Structure 1
Amino acid sequence: MSQPVRSILYRNGVVHSAADPFAEAILVDDGVVAWLGADDTAAGLAARADRVVDLDGALVTPGFVDAHAHVLESGLAADSVDLSVGGGVRSLGEALAVLHGRSRRLEVSDPSGERVLLAFGWDEQAWPERRAFTRSELDAACGGRAVYAARVDVHSAVVSSAMAARAGIEHDPAWTGTGLSGSGWSDAPAQTGLVTADLHHTVRAVAHTLTAEHRTRLYRDTLAAWAARGIVSVHEMSGEHLDTRAGLAELHALTSDPAGGLPHLAAYRGELCRTADDARALLAELPFLSGIGGDLNVDGSIGSRTAALRSPYSDLPADPSSASFTGTLTNPDGTPWTGNLYLNADQIAHHLAAVQEAGVQGAFHVIGDRAMDEMVLGLQVAAQITGDSAVRAGHHRIEHALFVDATTLAALLVRGVGLSVQPAFDTAFNTRAGGGQGVYVTRLGAARAGSLMPFADLAQAGVPLAFGSDTPVTPVDPWQGVRAATGHEDPDQRISAGAAFRAHTRGGWRLAGLDHTGAGQLRVGAPAHLAVWRAEQLGVQAAPGRLASWSEEARAGTPLLPDLSPDAPTPECLHTLRDGVVIHDTF
């Protein structure tokens, strides 16, 4: 538990505040901002503060909000074998070697083979082989152990034969391929080892069986690590395929009191409701929910080719014998493969109507453009059921929203829908370091990939925007999220660092319906959610990708931000404060 301190004075630094862009000091008292101003004035306030922090030129900003996260999944990923390029695995062969080494070590600590070997983060597009390892390769590398190896998007995984048997799917027609006649599969999943959709959810649930103590440790360690990155609030996107209701209740209990030393939690639960009674029953068990939805999937992901698209995936071969890891070449009706649509407009509409009547937000995971079409149609049907004003008053949200064309944008504005988006998707999956081709370009082609995530169009239209990571899909690195939005692949879709920063701070509170408290801003009377940063250079982000020197003549009234140009070092988080309680400290 963090030790409460009634008041803290931060002085001799730089304060990012629109209320006083020239502030050098800030006083927090009883969990709120009590004063901010010049450092010479702060000297007279030092005696009344319980603690005085000498910033030594550091920057104080509103704390970040991660508006789409998965706490348990991220904790498990951190405990798993890291198969990502960032983790040093640069080829299929290296991945198998790493898995083999971990399996050999487990033979000593777990000779009975009870423990599942968990791995995470592989992306075949980042490897020269341009394919994933197969079930037989996994079996050979890991000596017959149960292995669950999730793809980076966590919408598919390769599993070993022993894992399939442990999950009870080895005779399932969806695994053997015997039930897929006419579905377009050229290779049975049992041959590739790949599981997607419901089969993936089944295997993941078994692979992620945890003791109560292990689960609690993962929750605490994961949230504490995020606090050390300047995160003061997390939108947890829980779901039936991700965590239990009891797990979400525990997470809420761990985070409800700031004195617990962890970030604030805005809790969402992705369970489909048909009636208001369904929604009320869920709220009776989980009364703290900000919304019912979040990871309520209308479709899947582009990397796993489960996102629902208007046009076929671009990288599927015409020759079935050369099928890549999914083996999926056609839709069940024989047309070219366009992904999975898990929910239809009727289901979306009735869910929205149900949660509106119960008094909470609805939220849906939407990736592909065909899925977005279905989402927009669902909003229209909901408006017919409940009325336009009721839908707008619901302040519903869409997660990810990669495809937003002009027609979709107009529909979202009319219905008052907010978007929770992940800017790091653009740098992680649309481009590669050194200009290499990312998975979005591979799966969609350059033209379609170039239209994804139109940040500038969304910001200029006034769509409520919040930024997050979708961790563990991309790391919790909020400054990288801001940097990605300012450096979009399409220069016309870049936004200023100030706009991106607001989306990653105040925008998260707004999307959760909590911005009326003043959260996300540093002004007198606002809740004291802040972070302190060591940054080599500060200035005014006068234009995307360009840092102007600070002076009254340059941009009076504009708060300072760190240099976020591509080669600039990432600011270091020194201190994080939630509701006046220190949750990370290096001073």
Structure 2
Amino acid sequence: MTNPSTLYRGGVLHCPADPRATALLVADGRIAWLGADRDAPAADRVVELDGALVTPAFVDAHVHATDTGLALSGLDLSGVRSAAGLLEAVAAFAAGLPSDAVVLGHGWDESNWPVPQLPDAAALDRAAGGRRVYLSQASIHSALVSAALLAACPEAERAAGYDASGWLRRDAHHVVRAAAFASVTRPQRVAAQRTALAHAASLGIAAVHECGGPEISDEEDFTGLLAVSGDGVPEVYGYWGELLGAARARELGAVGAGGDLFADGALGSRTAHVSSAYLDGDAGSCGHGYVSADEVRDHLLDCAAHGMQGGFHAIGDAAISTVLQGFAAAAEKLGTDRVRAARHRVEHAEIMNKRLIAGFVEYGIVASMQPAFDRLWGGAGRMYESRLGLDRSLESNPMGAMHAVGVALAFGSDSPVTPLDPWGSVRAAAAHHNPVQRMSARAAFAAHTRGGWRAVHLDNEGVLALGAPATFAVWSTPAGVERGLPVLQADDPELRGPQDPTPLPVCRRTVLRGEVIYEEGSA
């Protein structure tokens, strides 16, 4: 028995193949008809669009669902602007918790503070009333922890990245992170995942790429998330980031052995591996590379042996150079065409140059990028300039240059590093701090929709076309519509840029393969 058909009519459709279309028919999860209202066939149900815009739904190509859900329901520190403010937030949040609870918080970013001085472990102890405290920095590659949590993790003191002040990086951070999140019960994790996915659906996102791995989440967390994929929420495509772990990734249900398989750390924590030393922090430090070119090669060979897509988290130019050396070595064994066909990925790819971009083109690497990184940390007076200097900061996140030479792009948020905000990301790519690195809103939208599907080898998804999956979103567009897309930038060129005041679209409905997974005003 077929499912009831639904006619959506009276809208504006982002449908380049038929720009005059105002209606579409959904039947059995697919688009069965497109055209003008007056020519619409009969349907079991009719939805009046009242002039709303219909576009392909978004794909967020890099998320951490459990962390996102915990951040949405937990202690959000993204608005904190001082050490005192952070301690006040911790004290207020901890007061409502049992005495044996772990205070979990996320999002502080000292680069935005007038005085970037952090509280120490003892101060966190006092603020939390002796409770254990774990507060991840915006990058999730370092954290502030309390003395109580340090005492509960004596092995952290022997690990790289340990600091008695309580600001931990590298291996020490992984140790305390695992201990802190062990306090989260399985039902709490499931609830957090559902919260994150429901929030994504409310923003017109119909699919996400979860980047898991032994240093990010445990296997039960990962498989539990995959189990709810598409169950009234967006679909989840999982990447398991474990070196030489292609077989295990397949067993866990992942689509790829990559994602957050760390070739380096993050700029916010000064652990991204860069070729020229950071201008702040430890003198002469260039961050840290976590893999060798030989390990990259062997991982890609392992992926080929198991028919899996692979990839790495690589932010700094030195880390990306190492990854590309590994690609070159793998291509010597497999042939370049076979490497290209796999569509391996690099997550973030923030510090690039022409040579590295050429490597992405040569090996067909998908660049999974986050436009909000430039919006939040690029440009004069922001974190990238503090770490790298203005010239290097303006060369970061070169989405426009990569798109111009044919690098496949898939956009996402890295949530909770930055919020789920697809239209904000489209605008950020079109309004890069460096005008040379800007791309059109149309190209950015494609990277955040069809690009995400292509990154998981689903080439026929992400379009409104006859016979395509009925996966789309319905939008209110307060700034209007132009050529099938919402107006995202101000008419006045002086107002355009990362802080453009133009109101963004609001999602009214999200449909995944014909099923409504979000409707404005519903419980």
TM-score range, shorter chain: over 0.9
Gaps of 5+ in 2: 491-499
Q: Which residue matches 1:506? A: 450
Pick the aligned partner of 1:93 from 74, 81, 84: 84
Secondary structure in 2 aligned to 1:584? strand
Residue in structure 2 matched with residue 185 of structure 1 by the alignment = none
- Contact conserved, 2:59 with 2:448, CA < 8 A, in 1? yes
2:367 maps to: 419
User: What letter is aligned with 2:291?
Assistant: L
> Which of the residues 436, 441, 446 maps onto 1:492?
436
Report the equivalent of 2:189.
Answer: 215
Output the CA distance in 2 between the equivalents of 1:173 and 1:379.
30
Give distance in 1, aligned partners of 2:298 and 2:476.
Answer: 49
Give secondary structure in 2 for the equivalent of 1:120.
Answer: strand
Q: 1:73-92 CA distances to partner (integer Å, 9 max, x unpaired)?
A: 1112223211112xxx2322
CA distance in 2, matches of 1:438, 1:5: 52
- Equivalent position of 1:267 in the other structure: 238
Q: What's the counterpart of residue 472 of structure 1?
A: 416
Name the amino acid aligned to 1:134. Answer: D
The farther-off stretch of 133-142 and 53-62 is 133-142
SS in 2 for 1:403: coil
**Aligned-partner SS, 2:258:** strand
Shift of 1:129: 1.2
| Cα distance in 2 for residues equivalent to 1:173 and 1:298 | 18
Say whether the 8 Å CA contact 2:249–2:256 is kept in structure 1. no
Find out whether 1:538 has 2:480 as its counterpart: yes
The secondary structure found in structure 2 opposite 1:289 is: coil
Instruction: Tell whether 2:335 aligns with 1:387.
Output: yes
1:312 aligns to what?
A: 277
Q: What is the one-letter code of the residue matched to 2:405?
A: A
Q: What is the deviation of 1:199?
A: 0.9
Alignment of 1:225-264 (within 5 A): 225-255=199-229, 258=230, 260-264=231-235
Alignment match of 1:280 (pick from 247, 250, 264): 247
1:281 Cα offset (Å) = 4.4
In 2, Cα distance between the equivalents of 1:115 and 1:478? 34
1:320 match: none
Cα pair 1:12 1:25 within 8 Å, conserved = yes
Do residues 135 (structure 1) and 121 (structure 2) align?
Answer: yes
Q: How does 1:148-547 map to 2 (within 5 A)?
A: 148-169=134-155, 171-172=157-158, 174=160, 189-190=163-164, 192-209=165-182, 210-255=184-229, 258=230, 260-273=231-244, 279-283=246-250, 285-286=251-252, 288-316=253-281, 329-330=282-283, 336-431=284-379, 437-515=381-459, 518-540=460-482
Aligned residue identity for 1:266: Y
Q: Name the residue aligned to 2:43.
A: 49
**Residues 281 and 576 from structure 1, CA distance in 2 versus in 1: closer, same or farther, beyond 3 angstroms?**
closer
Secondary structure at the counterpart of residue 318 of structure 2: helix
- The CA deviation string for residues 94-149 of structure 1, in whole angstroms up to 9 with x for no partner, is 1111112222332xxx1xx2210111111111111112222122122222210001
Is the 1:25–1:39 Cα contact (8 Å) retained in structure 2? yes
Once the two structures are TM-superposed, the CA of residue 560 in structure 1 deviates from its matched residue by: 3.3
Which residue type is aligned with residue 96 of structure 1? Answer: L
- Where 1:427 maps in the other structure, the secondary structure is helix
> What secondary structure is seen at the aligned counterpart in 2 of 1:169?
helix
Distance 1:78 1:226 in 2: 11
1-structure distance, mates of 2:179, 2:123: 22
Is the alpha carbon distance of 1:104 and 1:247 closer, same or farther for their aligned partners in structure 2, counting shifts above 3 Å?
A: closer
Residue 268 of structure 1 aligns with an amino acid whose one-letter code is: Y
Match of 1:569 in 2: 503
Cα deviation, 1:324-374, whole Å, max 9, x if unaligned, reads xxxxx25xxxxx111011111111110011101210110100100111111
Is residue 73–residue 242 contact of structure 1 (8 Å, CA) maintained in 2? no
The answer as to whether partners of 2:12 and 2:484 remain within 8 angstroms in 1 is no
SS in structure 2 opposite 1:144? coil
Residue 173 of structure 1 and its aligned partner are, at CA, apart by 6.1
Confirm or deny: 8 A CA contact 1:5 1:581 kept in the other structure.
no
Q: Secondary structure at the match of 1:199?
A: helix
1:60 aligns with 2:20: no
Aligned length: 510
CA deviation map 1:245-301 (0-9, x unaligned): 22222212211xx4x21111111100110xxxx533442x22x32100110010000
Q: Structure 1: which amino acid aligns with 2:320?
A: M
Per-residue deviation, 1:5? 5.3
Q: Secondary structure at the match of 2:70?
A: helix
Give 1:49 shift.
Answer: 2.0
CA distance in 1 between counterparts of 2:57 and 2:441 reads: 15
TM-score (norm 1): 0.84
Check whether the contact 1:26–1:37 (CA below 8 A) recurs between aligned residues.
yes
Q: 1:314 to 1:144 in 2, by over 3 A?
A: same
Deviation (angstroms), 1:168: 3.2
Kindly provide the amino acid, as one letter, of the partner of residue 86 in structure 2.
A
SS, match of residue 179 in structure 2: helix
- Cα distance change, pair 79–131 in 1 and its aligned pair in 2 (3 A): same
Letter in 2 for 1:559: G
Whose radius of gyration is greater, 1 or 2? 1
Q: Residue 582 of structure 1: CA displacement?
A: 0.5
Verify the 8 A CA contact 2:30 2:469 in the aligned structure 1.
yes
**Post-superposition CA distance 1:411-433 (Å, at most 9, x none):** 111111111100010011114xx
RMSD: 1.6
Instruction: In structure 1, list runs of 5 or more residues that go unmatched.
Output: 178-188, 317-328, 331-335, 541-557
AA paired with 1:280?
Answer: A
Higher alpha-carbon deviation: 474-483 or 390-399: 390-399
Quick one: which amino acid aligns to residue 348 of structure 2?
H
Q: What is the distance in 1 between the residues matched to 2:260 and 2:122?
A: 32
Residue deviations 1:190-209 (CA, integer Å, cap 9, x gap): 1x211111111111111112
Pairwise CA distance, 1:170: 6.3
Q: Distance in 1 between matches of 2:157 and 2:255?
A: 40
Q: 3-state SS of the aligned residue for 1:348?
A: helix
| Distance in 2 separating the partners of 1:305 and 1:403 | 13
Identity of aligned residues (%): 43
CA distance in 1, matches of 2:157, 2:109: 28
